[in-house]
Amino acid sequence: MPAKTPEQTHELFVEHFNAADIDALLSLYEPNATLVPFPGEPARGQAAIREALGRFIALKGHMELKVDKIFQADDVALIFSSWNLKRTSVVSHK
């Protein structure tokens, strides 16, 4: 299901992230999109975005996200969000 609003894009992002579905996450990005991960450098294009998102998914966490501000012009939106990523896996040290 494609998003119909910028807010829905973020709802789908959280859903796909928490399901660790990298292909569904990547489907939310235009081919020439840029992702600005924190920490890290901007990831430009789908290959770089896949790599950046893969590093976050590897943390095996649960994401919560709140949309802070949206700037929209026609069919392009810039979305600023606050997010929280909580680790869900337990690491045991012997």
- Mean confidence (pLDDT) of the chain: 88
What's the pLDDT at 48? Answer: 96
What's the pLDDT at 89? Answer: 59
CA–CA separation, 57 vs 41, rounded Å?
A: 17
Q: Is the pTM of this model over 0.95?
A: no
User: Residue 7: helix, strand or coil by DSSP?
Assistant: helix
What's the pLDDT at 14? Answer: 95
Structure tokens at 22: 């990298």
With a cut of 70, list the residues of the chain below it in pLDDT.
1, 89-94
Give the domains, in start order, of the chain with CATH numbers. Answer: 6-87 (3.10.450.50)
- For the chain, the distance separating the N- and C-terminal CA atoms, rounded to the nearest angstrom, is 45
